[in-house]
Structure 1
C-alpha cells in the first residue's frame, strides 16, 4: 500500500513537471522563432540539479519543483538615444535606483550586436504571442485531458442495476450507525429484489437509470406497484409497496439538496430500499467545450476569491476550525491526494475510476495554471500581457495624434510592485504547504 501511495505521488509530480515543461516550451518556441536570444530554460527554482547547454540555451532542472522559467535577454529597455550597455547614473530615489540597477544588470547580459534580439525589441503583438504561449499550453493540456476524461472514460452515472438492498427502512434523519432493530422491513427486501438485478420498469414505465427509477418510486408512497427487472438474463416482475419515508431531497439532476447550514434537506416520499451501481458513461465530444467552459468559470471564481480563501486557510490552520475541503492546495496537498487515489483499496474504486480521478485532477490543475497566469500582475505572464497591450495602445494613440513613437514600456519601473507580489506568492505557497501537512485535504475518510 505504501508503494502504491509513493507511486501516486511520483505520477503526480511527473504530471505537474510535464505540464510546467510544456508551459515553458510555449514561451520558448515563439521566442526563438522571433529571434529572441533565450539563455536559460529551467524547470524549478533554486540550485541546479542538472543542466546541459545546447546552442545558446542552457536546459536544466532545479531543486525546488514549484514552477519554471525561461530567461530572455533584454527584458527592460535602455535609455532613449543611448547605447544599451551604458546606463546613466542619475537616480534620484530608491525606486528609480532599483529600476536603473535592474537595467544595468539586464544590459550586461548581452552585447550591442544582440540588441536586436532582445525581448523588449519585439513588437507588441509578438510579445503577446510569447507571453501567452505558456498559459495557452496549459489550456490545451486541460482541453485534451477533459476530452479523454469525458469521452474516453465518461461521467459518473448511477445505473438501475441494483448494487445493494436495504434490510429495513431507516429515516434519512437517523444516525448513520442506526440498526434495523425495531425498524420495518424494506419493500425491496420484502419483494425479493437482489443485488445484481437490473430494474427495467416501475409501474409500467420504463426506466433508463437509477435517477429515473428513484423518481418514479418516490411518487408512489404506500402504493403497491409492479417492478420490472432482469435477473441472470431472465425478465421478471415483482410487486412492492414503497413506504412513505423521510428521504434526502434531490434536484432535477438527481443531486442531493443541501440547506444553508450544510445539512441535507429531506422530504417525505416513497422508499424502496435499493442503491444503484455507479459506472462511467462516455459522453460525446460535442460536450467537451461546455465542460471546459464550466471548468474555466469555476477556476476563475476561485482565483478571484483567492485572497479570502487563503486567509480562511490561515485561520483554520492556526485554530480549531475545519479546513475547507474544496479550497486551494499546494504541491504537497496535490501530491498527497494523488497518493490516496492510487493506493485506495476498495472494490467500488477500480483502476478505471482511479485513472479517471487522477486525469480529472491533472486537467483541473492545468486549467488553474492557465487562469492564474493570466492575472494581470507582474511577475505572472498576465502582467507582461497587460504591459504589451498598454504598449500597443500607447503607440497607436501616439501615431493617431502625430506624435513620435513613445517606445517600449519600461517594465523595470514596476519592480517594487513585482517584488511585493512575488513575496506574497512565496508566503502563500509556504502557508499552503504547511496547511497540506498539518491539516491535509483528503478524498477518503
Structure 2
C-alpha cells in the first residue's frame, strides 16, 4: 500500500510540475514583451497559498487540476455606448452574446488604467501573441522530448540482447507449439556446439555481435555451413563450432517482428538455423531514436484527440453498461494515478525498479505530449483558441493592407465567451465521466 501511494505521489508531483512549467512557458515571454501579468496560479478554486512579487501574485489553488496566468487586456477595450442609449433585456441569443462580450470587456478595462494600455495582451503584435500562447504547449513538448531522451538513452527500451536465455533441444517447425516433443527431431546446432544459457554471443562466422539483430543476420546468412561461434562465459571468450541446418524460419519485418499473411499464418523462408533465444532486457539506445518516437507519440495522441467524442461515448458505454473498457482509451486523473500506483507496487517477475522507473517516465512523457496536443485544439479556453484568434487577426490586417483599408484592430475574442463557456462545460462533463469510469470500470496494468 505504501508503494502504491508513492507511485500516486510521484505521478501527481510530475503532473503538477508539468502544469507549472506550462504556465511558465506563458509567463516568461509575456513578461519579456512587457505585458503586465497579475497572477500566476497552479490549480483552480480558493487560493491556498500565495505571495506577491513585484506586480504578480504567485500561488496555489485548492483544486490542483490545471493552472493559469492572468494578463491584463485579454480583450479589446470597452468602447462604451452613445450617451442616452437605453439597454433593454433580451432573450435573443445574439443580444445575450453581445451583452456578455461587452460586460467582459468592461471588466477587463476596469483592471488597468490608460498608463498600462500599452502593456495589455491585445496591444502585442501578432507574432508576439503567438509566442506567448504557444509558449505553454511548447514547454510540454520539450518536457516530453526530454523525458524520452532519458528513457531511451538512460533507462533503455525493451529489446533482445545477445545473452543466451535458452538453447533449443531440437529443430522444430517455426509454427510448432511451445510444448512440442523433440522425439524424432534432429538436435539443435547450438546444443551440439555446447552453447549454454547465460553465454554472451560475441562473434558468429567472423561477424562481431553487439545486438540480437546481428545474431539473426549472421545465422540466417550462413545457411548450413559449419561456422565458428565465439561466446563469453565466466569472463572468458570461448570459440565453438556449430554446424547449422537449413530450416523454415519466420520472415522478419524491419522491427524484427514475424510477418504473417492475410490469414494470420506465419510467412517463412529457408535460412540457417542455430537454435538459441536471446534475453529480453532494457537496452539504452542512441538519442537519434527520439525524434521518430516523439513523432509517433504526437500522431497517436492526435488520433486520440480527433476521435475523442467516439472514445468518450465508448467510455460511457463501459461505465454505465456491460461493455469492456478500451485499455488504450482516455483516462482521467484517477485512472492515471491508479496506474502509477500499480506500477510502483507491482510484484511481477522481470518488472523490477529499472522497469518501474522507465514506465513512470514513459507515462509522464505521454501526459506531456497529451497536454501539448490537446492545448493546440483551436477552441477557447484552450491555448489553441487564442492562437487561432491571433492568426485571424494577422490575416485580417494583411487583407486590409492589401486593399488599402484602415487597420481593423485586434480580434475581439470576448465575442466567443458563450462558446468558451459551452466548451468549458463539455470539459467538466468529460472530466466527471472519466472520473466515474476510472472508479467503477478502471483500466489496470496487471489484471
The separation in 2 between residues aligned to 1:168 and 1:317, in whole angstroms, is: 50
Counterparts of residues 5-24 of structure 1 (less than 5 Å): 5-24=4-23
Counterparts of residues 273-422 of structure 1 (less than 5 Å): 274-346=276-348, 348-422=350-424
Q: 1:131 aligns with which of 112, 128, 133?
A: 133
Greater Cα shift, 117-126 or 413-422: 117-126
- Using structure 1 for the length normalisation, give the TM-score: 0.83
> Does 1:235 pair with 2:233?
no
Secondary structure of 1:322's counterpart equals coil
Secondary structure of 1:63's counterpart equals strand
State how many pairs are aligned: 439
Secondary structure of 1:337's counterpart equals helix
RMSD: 3.6
Counterparts of residues 119-198 of structure 1 (less than 5 Å): 119-165=121-167, 187=188, 188=190, 192-198=194-200
Q: 1:217 to 1:325 in 2, by over 3 A?
A: farther
Q: 1:402 to 1:268 in 2, by over 3 A?
A: closer
Q: Please state how far the C-alpha of 1:222 moved relative to its aligned partner.
A: 9.2
Contact 1:243 1:272 in 2 (8 A): no
Q: 1:286 to 1:234 in 2, by over 3 A?
A: closer
The separation in 2 between residues aligned to 1:169 and 1:433, in whole angstroms, is: 53
Q: Show the counterpart of 1:51.
A: 50
Q: Please state how far the C-alpha of 1:200 moved relative to its aligned partner.
A: 3.5
The separation in 1 between residues aligned to 2:335 and 2:172, in whole angstroms, is: 37
The separation in 2 between residues aligned to 1:189 and 1:45, in whole angstroms, is: 65
Q: Show the counterpart of 2:87.
A: 89
Q: Please state how far the C-alpha of 1:196 moved relative to its aligned partner.
A: 0.9
After superposition, what is the alpha-carbon deviation per residue over 1:222-263, rounded to whole angstroms, capped at 9, x for unaligned?
A: 998765433221314154766958x766323212446779x7
* Runs of 5+ unmatched residues, structure 2: none
Secondary structure of 1:143's counterpart equals helix
Q: Show the counterpart of 1:40.
A: 39
* Runs of 5+ unmatched residues, structure 1: none
The separation in 2 between residues aligned to 1:432 and 1:175, in whole angstroms, is: 41
Q: Show the counterpart of 1:72.
A: 71
Counterparts of residues 204-283 of structure 1 (less than 5 Å): 206-214=208-216, 227-232=229-234, 233-237=236-240, 239=242, 250-257=252-259, 265=266, 267=268, 274-283=276-285
Greater Cα shift, 147-156 or 233-242: 233-242
Q: 1:154 to 1:79 in 2, by over 3 A?
A: same
The separation in 2 between residues aligned to 1:87 and 1:129, in whole angstroms, is: 40
Contact 1:172 1:266 in 2 (8 A): no
Q: Please state how far the C-alpha of 1:421 moved relative to its aligned partner.
A: 1.9
Secondary structure of 2:386's counterpart equals helix
Q: 1:215 to 1:362 in 2, by over 3 A?
A: same
The separation in 2 between residues aligned to 1:67 and 1:23, in whole angstroms, is: 9
- Using structure 2 for the length normalisation, give the TM-score: 0.83
Q: Show the counterpart of 1:112.
A: 113
Secondary structure of 1:128's counterpart equals helix
Q: 1:258 to 1:305 in 2, by over 3 A?
A: farther
Q: Please state how far the C-alpha of 1:160 moved relative to its aligned partner.
A: 1.1
Secondary structure of 2:420's counterpart equals helix
Q: Please state how far the C-alpha of 1:394 moved relative to its aligned partner.
A: 0.9
Q: 1:251 to 1:437 in 2, by over 3 A?
A: farther
The separation in 1 between residues aligned to 2:332 and 2:268, in whole angstroms, is: 40
